[in-house]
Homo-oligomer: A and B are copies of this chain.
């Protein structure tokens, strides 16, 4: 393995000068630069990043922590994080917390040992605070949260705007002529689900429609009784003519029940989900949904990380980004063909 020392020897220059050529930044004559590069080329020299990392204290490595890799939202985000950071000369180390706080803690410790320059993380469901990140922060390692945010000031985060997504989805249904819109709600303990419900209610109000609490129903796909209640709701007179589900799986479940009851979609009931899961396009009829812009979230998280890393003074104010989602309209909610 040839090293900078070899290149220095070959060119008659000093080790320092050779190093400067590869750092790019520092001043070095165009002539010596060429000499060095040519010699390096000939000797097939490749700089050892480990050594550079050790000496400089900068590994140009970013840890990316997600609960689990092969879930659409995470793999898409990772995809754009990777490509964005690679362009900037960083590489990423992927870790999975498996939704376990303890494992997440181990991973963060491990990343600290690896001298990562930053950590982009979507926290586990068990994670309620940033205590286990204290050491990272103390070590001056930049942190960006994405998708799953902790409700904390002073921490960089990127999430989609759940309120706005729900608002837009509900508004879309209203525009398609729906007047009695059911909301299949999520657990109200989860903030993003509360946001979605708020968006739904806000849209109804803004369009002069009543908010009927019976129309907000936390469907449980596992419970036959819960499914029965949905059947019951759909057969009332007047019957609901629209459904906004807080997640695509719930919309899918409702879709099956609508078929079972011989209700036409979207003519009798228009329906829209949330998440724009890959399967939406394949349902019969294809399901409208709110796109979570996972790639954009990843890109933005990477962007913020880079800013953070380049900011010389470490006194940046934390940026809390909310990306507005996009309503993807498919046949399940498309009544008008304007």
Contacts and interface: CB of A to CB of B under 8 A. Distances in A.
Contacts of A91: 93, 95, 110, 114
Indicate how many identical chains form the complex: 2
Interface residues of A, number: 43
B252 A282 contact: yes
A49 B283 contact: no
Contact of A79 (B1, B68, B284): B68
A48 to B, nearest CB: 7
Contacts of A78: 69-70, 94
A70 B59 contact: no
Contacts of A50: 50, 53-54, 59, 114-115
A264 interface: no
A265 to B, nearest CB: 12
Interface in A73-89: 75-76, 78-79, 82-83, 86
Interface string A33-61: 00000000000001111110110000101
A79 to B, nearest CB: 4
Contact of A69 (B54, B82, B110, B282): B82
Interface string A86-111: 10000111111010000000000110
Contacts of A113: 46-49
